[in-house]
Structure 1
Amino acid sequence: MKEQWPTPPGEAVIHRDLGIDVVRFACLALVVVSHCMMVSPVLHADGTVTSQNTLGDQHWFEPVIWIFMVMPLFFVTGGTTGLQSWLRLKARGGTGFDFAQIRLLRLVRPAAALLAVMFLGLWAARLLGVDPQVTQLIATGAGMPLWFLAAYLAAQLNIPLLARLHARAPWLTLAALVTLVVAVDCFRGTLPLLAYANLVFLWCAVQQLGFLTADGHLARLPRSGLVGLIVAANLLLGLITGLGLYSGNMLVNLNPPNLCLFLLGVSQAAVLQLFRPGMDWISGIHWVRAVVSAAGRRAMTVYLWHLPLLAAMSGLLLLTDFPKPAAGTAAWWWARPLVLLGVVTLLLPVIAVFGRLEERPTAAVHARGRPAAAVVTAAVVVFIPVADAAFNGLTLALLGGGAACFALAVLLLGRVPERVPVPVVSESGNGEGGALPAGPSSASVEP
């Protein structure tokens, strides 16, 4: 179901696909719930504290995660909305650097607040005598969402280039990216650090599936073709994992990512297209639209904060006499709904205070885009602490340095330039410079 956004006279009409919004909301909710069932700090008899992935350690969970590993779907929908946002901005006279500026601000502003608050809070905890192991556990919780931020930013910042290649040769562009993914996988045993290149190649390839969804390629397939695509992707996934070329545990395949995540993305993109009518019907329900709209405007805040809050709540409970059932026991499983309720309760005030940072920054009347050098410098400044955290783990010192780098990036980026009015764009074209054709597309939570 599409809903038109109100636009100033003379500007292009923006279409909003509420079905895509529902999918994004469902993915975010599933991530929060699954993390509440995974993270489990353990206090050992010798006084050491470690973190245990209880759910991921269950053998029965390996086939289940094939269904509930929704990270590829995040990038598929991100590709759909990202392509639409780029074409809309380009039609208004915007450049690739304008697009990068908007994307960086949209994601970096809430992340900067998270790192700053955690740095100050954990230093205060240290001064109050909280065990350093507990503060490190909480810092680790903050680091886990940062890999997604880095990968998502890397993919989104490449959208102007990839959109141009997609307009000229969509299948060749996708094939080239998949070839790079496979090449990196082949050499990861010899050069382990090379595997992290797939944080860019793999997620850009999955993002291209969103391009194919946005411009109607998948919509032109019959239902039997979509079902065949789903079956083929899963059969190939079963073959390469069954032969031992890749792990059958999708959590293992997630970081650094590999070809398995692309095959899951193919399957999920086809499933999304297959069930579009159902998604559109669900999105037409009034209360669903209200919930999804409210959550979409604060999605990045929820994603960034839920794991640090979960780690903080779990770590601080270790310092009390509150009952702590052993991980994996029946009592531990029964406590999961209470843990989820606790995280949601903590998220509400955080969203109220920091959620507004996700709002699109408004510009002064005569504001202009930032110089290309400022945008490039901001991107480099953001990726330096994120890469350090990915390779070496997040420490208290890195939290402070990351907060400073992110704040500097926000200052470098300034505010989003004033939009340039253009005549209404026809929806008949499907090239790089035209509007998206009528069909699945969304910009609900995109700037």
Structure 2
Amino acid sequence: MIHRDLAIDLVRFICLALVVVSHCMMVSPVLHADGTVTSENTLGNQRWFEPVIWIFMVMPLFFVTGGTTGLQSWLRLKARGGTGVEFVQARLLRLVRPAAALLAMMFVGLWAALLLGVDPQVTQLIATGAGMPLWFLAAYLAAQLNIPLLARFHARAPWLTLAALVTLVVAVDCLRGALPQLAYANLVFVWCSVQQLGFLMADGHFARLPRSWLVGLIAAANLLLGLVTGLGLYPGNMLVNLNPPNLCLFLLGVSQAAVLQLFRPGMNWISGVRWVRAVVSAAGRRAMTVYLWHLPLLAAMSGLLLLTDFPKPAAGTAAWWWARPLVLVGVIALLLPVIAVFGRLEERPTAAVHSRGRPAIAVVTAVVVVVIPVADAAFNGLTLALLGGGAACFALAVLLLGRIPERPPGQAASESGKGEGRALPAGPSSASVEP
């Protein structure tokens, strides 16, 4: 019996909350005297924020915890006789179903706004803001869908696999000056390497390190990060390093994985509190809906406020900062009905036990159909036309993926005690198993 790792669930909840709060302090639409509309990243433009983002850049931690839960989910599926195709099918459905609804609703809503006479600049501002989460969806898909393959390499040679991925990261960083488009290959290499840290955590490698070694690992990762940024090899602003990602994000991931392990006893205690456990559990079941919808709702709210006489303090002023809590409350208020309506799309649609799984070609086609519009939006920005095309592609992918056959717990594959079919590790490393 595999129990949820409540500490990992709590960390994921904290990361999601920090992302929502930080975005509420970043998005700042500006209506200029000539009638043009632009968007500013107010928080990201503050010089004092550069050292702060070293601490609050939680995207690596998302992928560390995603690697932990992903490996556990894959091992459990393998133990029940599941295949890599079934794993990809389940992971893709979990991400694509809520995203398809978002793209379709945005396409309809923005077209309606245009027909009602809303300035096209405002609708484009909303579309651009909504496209920002899609880079994460592209990167998360690339990492999660590779889990069965990477788990096989990890089972045979965990440290060699990690070293190979980091080598690819560095190689791409070295060539990005001559081949700028090559830098986007690190959307795969960086986040897969950070995900491997989650594999190591799931296997108990971090748990076996003494506290002094964890502290040393944190210090070494941050010192190396300071060295490469201090020498000018990489920017000191982690928001710049995020898109496209580079070695700095991996070093942050090492530090954050060690911090997570260092404070795991405290996190275990906090996550054991009944009301905390209830909040984290409720939020965890709808995490993808919150992530996908919060920024489009924020962009829509900000864009529509431009059309009213509501006071709009200049970005960065004291009045603007004091208004941030109201903005956060507004986003949460808009999220609640969205979660109620669309949150169920995160639940796994299961078929009867005796049903056959989807053909591999259908799952592979669904992956291609999803990746094309997501990559286009991540690289070139989201447009109204791409919204419609993306919604159609995602809907097609959902049809191709179908339902997931339910496997009874007793249906276990006969696996040896080694390799990727090994028994699931016991104890706190048995992280929350996602659908």
- TM-score by length of structure 2 reads 0.98
Matched letter for residue 182 of structure 2 = L
Q: Distance in 1 between matches of 2:30 and 2:433?
A: 37
| Aligned-residue offset at 1:362 | 1.7
Q: Is the 8 A contact 1:69 1:250 kept in 2?
A: yes
Q: Distance in 2 between matches of 1:266 and 1:421?
A: 35
Q: Aligned pair 1:106/2:94, yes or no?
A: yes
1:281-292 equivalent positions in 2, closer than 5 A: 281-292=269-280
Match of 2:383 in 1: 395
Match of 2:250 in 1: 262
| Aligned-residue offset at 1:443 | 5.3
3-state DSSP of counterpart to 1:40: strand
3-state DSSP of counterpart to 2:53: helix
- RMSD of aligned residue pairs (Cα, Å): 1.5
| Aligned-residue offset at 1:409 | 0.2
Task: Show CA shifts across 1:181-202 (max 9, x none).
Answer: 0000000011011000000000
Matched letter for residue 195 of structure 1 = A
| Aligned-residue offset at 1:104 | 0.3
Choose which of 285, 293, 302 in structure 2 pairs with 1:314: 302
Q: Aligned pair 1:50/2:38, yes or no?
A: yes
Choose which of 396, 399, 406 in structure 2 pairs with 1:411: 399
| Aligned-residue offset at 1:375 | 0.4
Choose which of 67, 72, 77 in structure 2 pairs with 1:84: 72
Q: Is the 8 A contact 1:233 1:267 kept in 2?
A: yes
Q: Aligned pair 1:297/2:285, yes or no?
A: yes
Greater mean deviation of Cα atoms: 64-73 or 434-443: 434-443
Match of 1:136 in 2: 124
Task: Show CA shifts across 1:111-140 (max 9, x none).
Answer: 000000000000000000000000001111
Structure 2, unaligned runs of 5 or more: none
For residues 294 and 424 of structure 1, do their structure 2 counterparts lie closer, same or farther at Cα, with a shift above 3 Å needed? same
Match of 1:181 in 2: 169
Match of 2:113 in 1: 125
Q: Distance in 2 between matches of 1:83 and 1:163?
A: 7
Q: Is the 8 A contact 2:95 2:288 kept in 1?
A: yes
Q: Aligned pair 1:115/2:103, yes or no?
A: yes
Match of 1:356 in 2: 344
Task: Show CA shifts across 1:38-73 (max 9, x none).
Answer: 000000111000010000000000000000000000
Q: Distance in 2 between matches of 1:152 and 1:103?
A: 10
Match of 2:4 in 1: 16
Q: Distance in 1 between matches of 2:428 and 2:228?
A: 32
Q: Aligned pair 1:241/2:241, yes or no?
A: no
Q: Distance in 2 between matches of 1:436 and 1:176?
A: 25
Task: Show CA shifts across 1:243-278 (max 9, x none).
Answer: 000000000000100000000000000000011100
Task: Show CA shifts across 1:129-176 (max 9, x none).
Answer: 000000001111111001101100110010001001001100000000
| Aligned-residue offset at 1:445 | 6.5
Q: Is the 8 A contact 1:78 1:207 kept in 2?
A: yes
Q: Aligned pair 1:276/2:290, yes or no?
A: no
3-state DSSP of counterpart to 1:218: coil
Q: Distance in 2 between matches of 1:182 and 1:223?
A: 29
Matched letter for residue 115 of structure 1 = L
Matched letter for residue 369 of structure 1 = G
Matched letter for residue 263 of structure 2 = F
Number of aligned positions between the proteins:
435
Q: Aligned pair 1:382/2:359, yes or no?
A: no
1:131-280 equivalent positions in 2, closer than 5 A: 131-280=119-268
Structure 1, unaligned runs of 5 or more: 1-12
Q: Distance in 2 between matches of 1:77 and 1:368?
A: 31
| Aligned-residue offset at 1:387 | 1.1
Match of 1:325 in 2: 313
- Give the fraction of aligned pairs with identical amino acids, expressed as a percent: 90
| Aligned-residue offset at 1:435 | 2.4
3-state DSSP of counterpart to 2:421: coil
| Aligned-residue offset at 1:14 | 2.0
- TM-score by length of structure 1 reads 0.95
| Aligned-residue offset at 1:430 | 6.7
Q: Distance in 1 between matches of 2:433 and 2:45?
A: 34
Q: Distance in 1 between matches of 2:424 and 2:5?
A: 12
